[in-house]
Structure 1
């Protein structure tokens, strides 16, 4: 905290003219935002003496009110500059140039500085000059990662053609040019593309996102990739923020666990990491069920039933506790949350936060139990775009597969850290987190358990297998889970041993027999109401 306050003072006093990013990566709940607000409050109490102006760049509009209240700012102390027509622009002073502190969003800053230097972005000036103290809250990348689905682009001209034939023809030319580009080849789209807002209003939300993504990377090099679910995808990054935005202070609670900053450093980005002891998570227990639980997996009725039964069994075992449930945002007629609530006693004690809204809230800091129903996996194209945005490399210079894999692991650590730290774990004292127990369902690759240990140093990371698998481990546990899946989730009354053996990847019948005849495994079968036959496992109440 001391180093953070010193860095703020130095940037405010313009004593550091070296273009660099000063990265504060104190973990969630350790008070980075409070330190900023304390500084601004003290500054205000001194009448903003020796003041060169502060620019605070946030990810969401609602965070602006929190900063204003916490720093004790009056209307004449600050201004807000967000999207045109937004009512929040009426907060504070009407003349931003006269406001000691100005608040804006990541998106607004990027839009206003596109194609110009920061010094020329007079919307963010103070008394006619660029503000000296520049604070970027949360994740920072100089450029924004962009992925564009080519299948989605092909459907847009049909909507645009009756309204704006020229825009439709321009998009036709781009999609035609992309047809001849092979997968994993790079391409630069030098086309011009524009349409008036009233025309774009006819597009669906998904189509508008693809259009905006494409427009943002025109003239920039991209790479064509293929995704099993999304078809051919264009991966690239927008133009970066102007170099003279630095020096700036970045407050990213995930800075310790993300790999994008390392990728930036490896390609020469000037990053000064503030020292920090890191939080001790010894009062956190994370129980991990190494079971595929992606959005597509949950679309399979048997898989969804198994996962929800497992989650409900744990939640019902602690009937007096409130729970924070981390989940995918519902699409269409998605019934996952309704099905979970139907299996839980007193479902009003459940709080739900979907991925994408899993940070920047303290509303659940009193909750001591967390259930992560499914992990948030981005596509390979998205991780590739992160690599391009972080490194500043264009695809023709060569993209490093190892770096992309590291970035993917870092994004998993970031998401888990932010999600679980919405709960009581963010509380604590003397560098030790608050009491909390988290249950995580999902796979991140070869060793999810190690990834969890890296994310939460000092925490107890334990295997979690619901449905009474007891002390079974290794191959015995794999066989038990397969048997249980087939009987409970699949509704079977008997299962052939050969089918079990093939499902778990065992080569020979004696290998399976060695597991089935172990005393611990026989005890588990008895507890599940199952018995061994010559060639099958069957329910004990069936002849």
Structure 2
């Protein structure tokens, strides 16, 4: 920051990935205050960029600057009134990521209107939280269909083009590529004109339709089971001439976007960092689907799991991070309605607002009631953009999975660090208990030690048992019958596999032994997998040995 103020910083994106709670924001506040008092830097101005309006409001309060020294430039007129100073006249300008990207969409940074100080580019540029220089532009068949009728009367040529594009996407089956037309040139209608007659959501769809103009787009299904088809490409969101800029993002050490950016673009510089040790953090993971679809289908069961856990500590405060867009945002009310103690001790924070805030830093119990998932196509497009993979090249699925894992780790770090984890002394985090619901295939449990070095990871056992059906139900019934009749006799896998009429051991392993309901059923029956004979792997089931204790019916206990 000093190098930028002195005009000595090279044109690079400088990433500071210090963990949450270490003091990045405090350092920023003190730097800005000292800069304004420095006689050697009277003409040096600062641009501060934040992800959320709430962070701007908080920082204005914490910085304690004179109103003449700062201005706020956002899309919210009420927030802008935090200062009456015009942006061009304020040494410190606070704005949002979205505003900067909007200003730079059709120009480079140095030409962007509304971000300069007395006509000159601000020398000190700070970007708080994640910076993604590339963004995914996409439009689906459903979104195209939602635009046809609103545009049919006011802009018939545009409505006709949209209908034609929708049919082309449907015919593709979600495979291959398509040369997207230049929408403005083909229809004679600008994006700004078309936006004027539709709602905000539809205006966003139009932005993407125009953003894809003249580009070869990939055609994909957002996920294999989806009926809709999307056209996708990427676009630059941050121009290179915004450098030098300092990025304050704790996720910098775990997010794949930065790794690929550093490797392929060459203009990202990592600043010295330090990682907090997390021996004071205990994380329990429940293997269960917890995305938006899972909450729609099994919301009652999931809400009961959260309530049972919260009820187990009736005198403590809790923070729950949840999906706001499910059932009209009803998850908080679902959970509160099941609590047997004061519901006011439970705070709820939805995904999308899980970064930046310090409001919950005193809370020692936090639940991630689901993961902040994105369509697989988003992970693919990010892997392509940051990996420099062209639209005419195949992308390695390992790179897509790496991108997905990095995004999951980023969201987990940011969400859990809203709690008491961000407190602590020196290199040690504050005491905290975290609980995560996630499917096993996500690999989240294996990545937790990377996100929180030294943390203790264990299993969060569900209180509501899943009903075993099909082959799994038949397997548990066979096991229960066997050990009821012959509790001392082991049950070989081959016998159980044969009884279930499963063709080979691989299918038996994948469909039965790895099934979470089956494993929970064995636990309930008091049965475990064992190795019989000269085998390297487990090949049978046996009753668990009873723990050593007093002999039933004995009149005394020997003190050994």
Match of 1:33 in 2: 25
TM-score, normalised on structure 1? 0.82
**1:94-151 deviations in whole A, cap 9, x for unaligned?**
4423321112211211221223222222422223321111111111111222332222
Match of 1:414 in 2: 410
Number of matched residues? Answer: 490
Match of 1:145 in 2: 136
CA distance in structure 2 between the partners assigned to 1:200 and 1:136 by the alignment: 29
CA distance in structure 1 between the partners assigned to 2:270 and 2:385 by the alignment: 20
Match of 1:295 in 2: 292
Compared CA separation, residues 76 and 199, structure 1 to 2 (3 A): same
Other structure's SS at 2:229 match: strand
Of 449, 456, 460 in structure 2, the residue corresponding to residue 453 of structure 1 is: 449
Other structure's SS at 2:93 match: strand
1:375 to 2:365 alignment:
no
Compared CA separation, residues 196 and 282, structure 1 to 2 (3 A): same
1:359 to 2:355 alignment:
yes
Q: How does 1:133-532 map to 2 (within 5 A)?
A: 133-179=124-170, 181=172, 183-193=174-184, 194=189, 200=195, 203=198, 205-226=200-221, 227=223, 228-229=225-226, 231-300=228-297, 303-333=298-328, 335-345=330-340, 346-443=342-439, 445=441, 447-467=443-463, 484-486=465-467, 497-498=474-475, 507-509=497-499, 522=525
Match of 1:81 in 2: 73
Of 63, 74, 98 in structure 2, the residue corresponding to residue 71 of structure 1 is: 63
Other structure's SS at 1:144 match: strand
Match of 1:21 in 2: 13
Compared CA separation, residues 56 and 405, structure 1 to 2 (3 A): same
CA distance in structure 1 between the partners assigned to 2:158 and 2:206 by the alignment: 11
Other structure's SS at 1:250 match: strand
Compared CA separation, residues 519 and 129, structure 1 to 2 (3 A): closer
Give the conservation status (yes or no) of the 8 Å contact 1:160–1:167: yes
Give the conservation status (yes or no) of the 8 Å contact 2:89–2:117: yes
Give the conservation status (yes or no) of the 8 Å contact 1:147–1:381: no
Give the conservation status (yes or no) of the 8 Å contact 2:287–2:439: yes
CA distance in structure 1 between the partners assigned to 2:194 and 2:117 by the alignment: 37
Match of 1:99 in 2: 90
CA distance in structure 2 between the partners assigned to 1:205 and 1:49 by the alignment: 42
1:54 to 2:46 alignment:
yes
Which stretches in structure 2 are left out of the alignment for 5+ residues?
480-492, 501-507, 529-560
TM-score, normalised on structure 2? 0.79
Match of 1:533 in 2: none
Compared CA separation, residues 241 and 187, structure 1 to 2 (3 A): farther
Larger radius of gyration: 2
**1:37-60 deviations in whole A, cap 9, x for unaligned?**
110011123357254221111112
Which stretches in structure 1 are left out of the alignment for 5+ residues?
1-7, 468-480, 526-543
1:154 CA drift (Å): 2.1
1:287 CA drift (Å): 0.5
Aligned-pair Cα RMSD in Å: 3.2
Give the conservation status (yes or no) of the 8 Å contact 2:183–2:209: no
